[in-house]
A and B are shown apart, each in its own frame.
Chain A
Amino acid sequence: MRTKRLRLVMSAVLVGALAAGCSSGGQEETPQETGPVELTFWTWAPNMDKIAAVWNTAHPDIKVTVSKQAGGDEAAAKFLTAAKAGNAPDLVQAEYQMLPSFVAAEAVADIKGEVAGVRDQFSDGIWNLVTLGTDGVYGLPQDSGPMMFYYRTDLFTKYGIAVPKTWDEYAAAARTVHAKDKTVYLGGFSSKDPGWFAGLSQQAGGQWWSITGEAWKVGINDGPTKKVADFWGGLAKDGVIDTQAPWTPEWNAALNGGKIMSWASAVWAPGVLSSNAPDGKGKWAIAPLPQWSAGENYSGFWGGSSIAIAEGSKHKQAAAQFASWLNTDAKALDLLIKEAAIYPAAKSGQALMTTAPEYFANQADFWQQATNIAGTARGFTFGPNVNVAYSAYKDAFDKALQNKSSFTDALGAMHDATVADMKKSGFTLAS
């Protein structure tokens, strides 16, 4: 019931963005199947075509054709446009934060009935990311990005600091390191990675969006998130953390040259480190993120994606069958790990990861640790306009860094921009 009402409310979105005169897909009764079912699948995971080939050999009646797409926000826009024109693929890879906008545009189907059997393969935190906290199920989790603390063991010894257990210890360590050497930072704050900030807010217990009845509630400037913003704002103001834009050659050089000693990142970081900071091989280790109060044990998610089924697909049943196989079957998970190099969302998939990444050869229990941390990660419900919130984050925090102004105000600006956009798009907001 709740989802039905929710859909009604949300149907207003995105209609304005696209010109009129577009047919909205043939989603009529499933026709009688003749011959093998043909499914198209948009994904950006590498080597997915090889994995689909394995499925196709085993299931001659359901043929999956993979079309490799670019990832990111543009991929989401492209899928929404295609869905409007009635050209959507049957299956689509959707980042968790983009899934709500697909649901709001009625571009993806509720597959609750089709995938009921695989629910217990996933942890509650991840499952919540595909249900949006409603009764529906809008995709199957594929990969996840639980956050953890990456640090340079050799430099921590050199500067005489211990791995911080709490964020207070982290702040103290940041000051110590920077006092000892002005060119070295313990870590950095990124105004370019809203997903990173979202993950840290999840850890703190923030709830940026929630659905009550038929209304959305936006809580981007709620207490826990404010705490996170204030914390980084204080460190940035004192200049004891690095605030340069990450993913630039300069940042890579700083990471590679040991000028940045740690990185609060996600489980996929080994790939980034090995390509962007090759000299650090064997010197990095992982630990759980610092906590907000001693004794707690939480993490958040940065990144990860699900496989959703288009509302316009004529073969939802077959598509759900493939999506379930891909994300829960032991053989498929093994292929996902080996060929697509992802960290699977399914619990049984995480257990398959045993050999530590080459870059972390010094930490034999890398995946054991990662799995333990993954179990503590909590997500939150993403809203229908995450792209607006994320670009507001970049604008507001960029400005705050530049003017050395308050991070609390920047968070407020992000909140207001998000709320204003949702109102404009016709969503009902709880007061």
Chain B
Amino acid sequence: MTTKGVRRPLGLAPTAVLLLGALYCLLPVCWVLAASTKTRGELFTTNAFAPGTGLFSNIADLSAYRDGIFWQWMANTALYAGVGALLSTAVSVLAGYALAKFRFFGRNMIFNVLIGGILVPAVVLAVPQYLLLAKAGLANTYWAVLLPSILHPYSIYLARIYASAAIPDALLEAGRIDGAGENRLLRVVAVPLMLPGMVTIFLFQFVAIWNNFLLPFIMLADDERFPLTVGLYTLLATGANQPALYNLVITGALLSIIPLIALFLTMQRYWRTDLSGGSVKS
């Protein structure tokens, strides 16, 4: 309310940079939108951004491909991303809260190891994880993709930062004086305060697992368990002597981002600062 009437002049350079950035991000999406409406014949022969006439026949073809295995892949991806992101958020919040609010032996060491973990790209770990899970007899199962997704150092780091900023020590102390146990404090005080952070972590992980390619590619042998990324890749890389099924892949790519967009639009409202943010006067 205080900024009313003090409108800053429109910064020309920043706006231009942002517009360019938006264009850079949105152009490929527009292309996928336009290309998925084209039939095989139209795909490479008509203007790149001109809509075609085959969206529904593409979707029908895709649904008919190998008795609708595309939808099986979609369900698999939803399972991997949904369950994986939920478990990962739970682990991250517990770990981050503990690291932020409790002093115990080895706390800094654990945190430093986690920071180190952030620096190791998940791609590097995929093959060792496969060999480990193969030994445990879990390769080529749903667990093979779910288990490695659960522990995510960056999410724990994020949860710790968020917990130390969003949960005032005074509030926890007040709770303890009032006789609340640690479990109750976590449930009633910590988790509600961390909700916006949890949503962020959940979305990050959901998107990361949804788009993950290498891990499921290595872990899964049975195409009934493939997620969308690996499944669509089998349509694209069909061997040297088969034409790639471009129009099906592009349509599949479009259908596969719709749930992500829907998720973002619905989860956005959790990102507002909550009322309890001002519960302590400091």
Chain A residues in the interface with B (C-beta under 8 A): 18-19, 21-23, 40, 42, 44-46, 49, 67-72, 74-75, 78, 81-82, 84-87, 89, 93, 95, 143, 145, 195, 249, 252-253, 256, 266-268, 271-272, 274-276, 278-279, 302-305, 341-343
Contacts and interface: CB of A to CB of B under 8 A. Distances in A.
Contact of B44 (A21, A84, A249, A343): A249
B162 interface: no
28 contacts: A19-B131, A21-B132, A22-B131, A44-B239, A46-B242, A49-B66, A67-B221, A67-B223, A70-B230, A70-B233, A70-B238, A71-B240, A78-B218, A85-B130, A85-B134, A86-B134, A87-B221, A95-B239, A253-B44, A253-B45, A266-B241, A268-B241, A271-B241, A271-B242, A274-B243, A276-B44, A278-B40, A302-B240
A18 B130 CA distance: 11
Interface in B118-162: 127-128, 130-132, 134-135, 139-140
B139 to A, nearest CB: 5
B108 to A, nearest CB: 29
Contacts of A22: 131, 134-135
A341 B242 contact: yes
A82 B221 contact: yes
B217 A74 contact: yes
A78 B241 contact: no
Given A18-B131, A23-B135, A89 B221 contact: yes
B237 interface: yes
A285 to B, nearest CB: 20
B41 A278 contact: yes
A42 B131 contact: no
Interface string B34-68: 00000011001100100000000000000000100
Contacts of B230: 70
Interface in B74-98: none
Interface in B192-237: 217-218, 221-223, 230, 233-234, 236-237
Q: Is the interface of A mostly helix, strand, loop or mixed?
A: mixed
Given A71-B240, A268-B241, 18 more contacts: A19-B128, A21-B132, A23-B135, A44-B238, A44-B242, A49-B66, A69-B223, A70-B217, A71-B242, A74-B237, A75-B237, A84-B131, A86-B134, A87-B221, A89-B221, A249-B44, A268-B240, A275-B40
Contacts of B223: 67-69
Nearest to B67: A49
Given A145-B240, A249-B44, A21 B217 contact: no
Given A81-B130, A279-B45, A271 B243 contact: yes
A93 B131 CA distance: 22
B231 to A, nearest CB: 9
B218 A81 contact: yes
Nearest to B137: A87
A45 B66 CA distance: 12
B239 A45 contact: yes
A21 B140 CA distance: 19
Nearest to A340: B242
B218 to A, nearest CB: 6
A85 B237 CA distance: 24
Contact of B239 (A21, A40, A42, A72): A72
Given A70-B233, A74-B237, A279-B45, A85 B131 contact: yes
A272 B243 CA distance: 5
A342 B233 contact: no
B135 A42 contact: no
B240 A95 contact: yes
A276 B230 CA distance: 24
Contact of B241 (A81, A85, A304): A304
Residue in A46, A70, A78, A279 with the greatest tally of chain B CB atoms within 10 Å: A70
A49 B67 CA distance: 12
B44 A256 contact: yes
A40 B140 CA distance: 13
B176 to A, nearest CB: 46
Nearest to B246: A275
Given A67-B223, A256-B45, A343 B241 contact: yes
A145 B239 CA distance: 12
B236 A70 contact: yes
Contact of A81 (B45, B127, B234, B243): B127
Contacts of B238: 44, 46, 70-71
B233 A249 contact: no
Contacts of A87: 134, 139-140, 221
CB-CB nearest 3 A-B residue pairs: A268-B241, A303-B240, A71-B239
A195 B139 CA distance: 33
Interface string B236-280: 111111110010000000000000000000000000000000000
